[in-house]
Structure 1
Amino acid sequence: MNAPILIVILYMIGMLAVGFYTNKYAIKSSTDYMLAGRRMGVLMVAASLSANNVGGGSTLGVATRAFGVWGLSAAWYVIAASVAMIPLAWFAPKIRKTMAVTIPEVVNRRFGDLAGSLTAVLNVLALFFLTSSQILASGTVVNALTGIPLNVSILIAGVVTIAYTTMGGMIADQITDLVQFFIILLGLAIALPFIINGAGGWEVISSKLPPVQLDFFKIGWVTILGLVFNYFCTFLSGPEMVSRFSSAKDERAAQKASVLSAVLMTMMAFIPTIIGLVSLAMDPQLDGGKGTSALMYATTHFAPSWITGIVAAAIVAATMSSADSNLLCASTIIIRDIYMKYFNPNVEDKRIIFLTRASNVAILVISMGIAMFKVNIVTMNLFAFALRSAGPFAAYAFGLTVPKASKHSGLVSIIVGSIAVVYWQVYNSTHPVLPIVFGCAMGTIAFFVTTFLEKNNVAPSAYVEGEK
């Protein structure tokens, strides 16, 4: 295992070098730190969007689901995200036009302090869980490669992530995302034929699989459409996604980046799925029949050691690219939408950078603690997505696009959507309709009913100069 360990170590050193370089030469203001100076081009934004979406859930998690009940249809977990990026391209220019830094800032402009603060709290809580899931995934890979205890591996992954994110902010985040996404895509693509060949070829693999596991639509259209709607709601109300659009050099670049991101994600949807099926065919009782280590099992057993190193680096890249984005967004919201709003609105620019960095460290320490509980990655991701999206979705999405939205429609939709998603999660968790879908639907209904009932009480614009 010397070659894989060396490759992963070199990768981590490279990420730290990016953080050091950007901190030394590129960070001049808090806008540089939080939004990369709003000067990023199409490829940089698209790769960052894609890398952020393709994390532990879309690699390790998809392989595990393919091993389990989803089979080949596990590819929809990523394809659905690609489909969701297409309608998001319509919103991207509007997001960029607000010139806001965070989602709570826009909600606050339209619907008042309470709505903005509730959005901030929901966003931060969700980002804690999302950061934890990605650090757990990174630690799992380090543990598999080195044999270092999982808790120690989680600490190692966390320390590297916090180092380059805290040093370089959004600029380092996007540069590393560009590198990370192509490491993920090319690394897994190179590994796949080696794994299939090492397992005896596709004919041998497919002959050992139950036919139902090769049904592309096994999970059913209700679940597929639910995933698309889940991603659309999550992306549109996701701080890490919105921050990417806000960092684009102009509105057109933001829109093009959304479409390009859809293409990039589609390119890798089937790779972890097939790797998971290889593991199922060769060892149906892996991890007690759960297949939680399906991706790394197939790689280490059926591919050369240097391929294992590339895949390990790809998985660490996937998880770190999501973790750093979640971390930076959580800190930005805490400082701009809570600290500066309620405690010190006149803090100087350099102090903002210092406080955001300090917040990064605090959040990651707590997130590593959560990761120690080893909650299933996909389960944790879906819960976090539902928590942050079901309430704020309607307030943010329609706050951008409905000029005559009423003053209290945002607040009502946040409350109704949040209650609805918790209710559905507790009492209907096995229903094919995902909690986030139900919560967003209820929030949307509440938004438009409230707007109708108080149609003469129009909320202020979401745009700085009243643009629509």
Structure 2
Amino acid sequence: MNLYVSVLAVIVFTLLTVSLARLGKVKTKADYLVAGRSLPAFVLIFTLLSSWIGSGSLLGGAENAYNHGFVALWQAGGGWAGLLLIYFIAPRARKFAQFTIPDLLEARYNQTARVLGVIAILLTYTAITSYQFIGGGDILHLIFPDLVTPILGRYILAAFVIVFTMIAGMSSVAYMDLFIGLLATATMCLALPVLIHRAGGWPAVHAALPETHFQVLGDLSFIQCMELFLPTCLLLLGNQSMYQKFFSAKSEKDARTAVVGWIIGTVILETVIVAIAVTGSALFPTGEVSKAPREILAYCGMHGFGDASPALRLLGALLMGAIFAKIISTANNWLFSPATNLVNDIYVRYVNPKASNKKILIVSRLMVVLLGVWALFQSLGTESVLKKALYAYTIYSAALTPVILAAFFWRRATAAAAVASIAVGTVVTVSWEFVSPHLPAAIGHRDAIFPALVASLICLVAVSLTTTAPDSQQLKPFGVE
């Protein structure tokens, strides 16, 4: 136990050191929100990787893999498909070089689109932050079962994240991600073959589990697989945190280079995560973890190396620590991003346009605290991480991704259409839980992604084709003139 505590303490101390080291470099709004637009490709790769792979993969995806096998890769595969298109978006996003997605929405559409975009982002990003708190709380409970309950762990994790995020903004987040991304990638890639060996080799893993665990669709239908695939794909394509990283890049070339590294790292790491969870389901088919399968990765770190050599026990502790650090990293990113919206898109845009850099930094840090508390409150009422993840992904996928992609790739998209698309996508997603029980079972039993996305796209296309097209000057910053 002392080994796990020591590793966790070293990781937290290192993260705090990195954050404080960046504090002196934050003097202006641009320094805090987009790291002074100074991030090189190498840093971008790992901050993109760390911000994307968090509790959605480490808890929700792992839970799915424990229960259903490699079919869980449909969720990860949505991100991989999105990354292929992002390769072409990244340089355009860096060329646009603003601070937030609502900046983009106002420049391409209008102020109403900006405000509705802020609302959709707040709903999505605080929901995603909330289940990072759940994941961190679970890990702290595993390490300190007699001292820290899962709920108390959420409070502790929230405090860590709020402090780390408010210190130095994007610069702090990005350089913490560099350390965490390297640690997590190396540790998980080393842990997988060791766990497979301890399970008796891959044939033994295969023999211990149902055949469906190794099939393309597993025990799910194609529609169920698409309900995993689409929200992830569309969230990634419109992900504000990702665009802010591109806005923070030193150049368009650095942005595009970073996407190549991000694609490679994401495919490797998400496949390893699912493979560890599947191996864990063979190693630990019953017992405590079978009742809380979202904890399988951390459980493998705690119990999969317990009677091994000191070196392997250290690897187990590092695996546990890397998962904890990845959750902190992801929470930092998803908490920081909506805070920038409240500052840049509401406070500076409408409340105090002439605010000094000093005042903007104070308000930015205050927003981090307030949103962190809101995310913590949401976490206290959440049981299923996978369900919460898909809900959050769907809000963003239906409300924002269509209009963001249209901004770069469809010159005919209009402001009125964007407003209608964002509003309808958000309303359908948020209300689906209450409306679906009153619909025919064939429709009502489906997740919100299909009805919300279809409604959003219909509004975007139909209203665009019946309203006046935007002028070429409005299109110029987006490369679609």
Which TM-score tier does this pair reach, normalised by the shorter chain?
A: over 0.9
Structure 1 residues 112 and 383 mapped into 2: Cα distance closer, same or farther (>3 Å)?
same
Q: Do the aligned residues in 1 keep the contact of 2:90 with 2:252 (CA within 8 Å)?
A: yes
Structure 1 residues 4 and 465 mapped into 2: Cα distance closer, same or farther (>3 Å)?
closer
2:369 aligned partner, one-letter code: V
Once the two structures are superposed, what CA deviation does each residue of 1:135-173 show, in whole Å capped at 9, x if it has no partner?
Answer: 211121111112222222222222222222211211111
Q: Do the aligned residues in 2 keep the contact of 1:83 with 1:262 (CA within 8 Å)?
A: no
Q: Does 1:362 align with 2:370?
A: yes
Once the two structures are superposed, what CA deviation does each residue of 1:38-71 show, in whole Å capped at 9, x if it has no partner?
Answer: 1212221122111111101212222211111x21
Unaligned segments of structure 2, at least 5 residues: 307-312, 437-442
Structure 1 residues 249 and 223 mapped into 2: Cα distance closer, same or farther (>3 Å)?
farther
Structure 1 residues 215 and 465 mapped into 2: Cα distance closer, same or farther (>3 Å)?
closer
Unaligned segments of structure 1, at least 5 residues: none
Structure 1 residues 79 and 446 mapped into 2: Cα distance closer, same or farther (>3 Å)?
same
In structure 1, the residue matched to 2:163 is 163
Whole-Å separation in 1 of the counterparts to 2:380 and 2:229 = 30
In structure 2, the residue matched to 1:16 is 16
In structure 1, the residue matched to 2:414 is 406
Farther-moved stretch of structure 1 (448-457 vs 29-38): 448-457
Q: Give the secondary-structure state (helix, strand or coil) at the position aligned to 2:87.
A: helix
Structure 1 residues 306 and 350 mapped into 2: Cα distance closer, same or farther (>3 Å)?
same
Give the deviation of 1:302 after TM superposition.
2.2
The correspondence of residues 22-421 of structure 1 with structure 2, limited to 5 A, is 22-24=22-24, 26-68=25-67, 70-147=68-145, 148-218=148-218, 219=220, 221-287=222-288, 289=291, 291-304=293-306, 305-421=313-429
Q: Do the aligned residues in 2 keep the contact of 1:399 with 1:410 (CA within 8 Å)?
A: no
Q: Do the aligned residues in 2 keep the contact of 1:209 with 1:281 (CA within 8 Å)?
A: yes
Structure 1 residues 141 and 404 mapped into 2: Cα distance closer, same or farther (>3 Å)?
same
Q: Give the secondary-structure state (helix, strand or coil) at the position aligned to 1:293.
A: helix
Give the deviation of 1:90 after TM superposition.
1.4
Whole-Å separation in 2 of the counterparts to 1:282 and 1:99 = 49
Query: Where has structure 1 moved over 6 Å in runs of 4 or more?
Result: none
Q: Do the aligned residues in 2 keep the contact of 1:340 with 1:346 (CA within 8 Å)?
A: yes
Q: Do the aligned residues in 1 keep the contact of 2:71 with 2:216 (CA within 8 Å)?
A: yes
Alignment TM-score, normalising by the size of structure 2: 0.90
Whole-Å separation in 1 of the counterparts to 2:69 and 2:478 = 51
1:199 aligned partner, one-letter code: A
Q: Does 1:3 align with 2:16?
A: no
Whole-Å separation in 2 of the counterparts to 1:47 and 1:7 = 21
Q: Do the aligned residues in 2 keep the contact of 1:135 with 1:371 (CA within 8 Å)?
A: yes
Whole-Å separation in 2 of the counterparts to 1:103 and 1:21 = 28
Whole-Å separation in 2 of the counterparts to 1:187 and 1:71 = 22
Q: Give the secondary-structure state (helix, strand or coil) at the position aligned to 1:126.
A: helix
Whole-Å separation in 1 of the counterparts to 2:149 and 2:253 = 47
Q: CA RMSD in A?
A: 2.3
Whole-Å separation in 1 of the counterparts to 2:216 and 2:415 = 45
Structure 1 residues 398 and 97 mapped into 2: Cα distance closer, same or farther (>3 Å)?
same
Q: Do the aligned residues in 2 keep the contact of 1:80 with 1:224 (CA within 8 Å)?
A: no
Q: Do the aligned residues in 1 keep the contact of 2:240 with 2:337 (CA within 8 Å)?
A: yes
Give the deviation of 1:238 after TM superposition.
1.8
The correspondence of residues 426-441 of structure 1 with structure 2, limited to 5 A, is 426-427=435-436, 428=443, 430-431=445-446, 435-441=448-454
Structure 1 residues 276 and 406 mapped into 2: Cα distance closer, same or farther (>3 Å)?
closer
Once the two structures are superposed, what CA deviation does each residue of 1:317-363 show, in whole Å capped at 9, x if it has no partner?
Answer: 22111111111111100111112223211111121111101111111
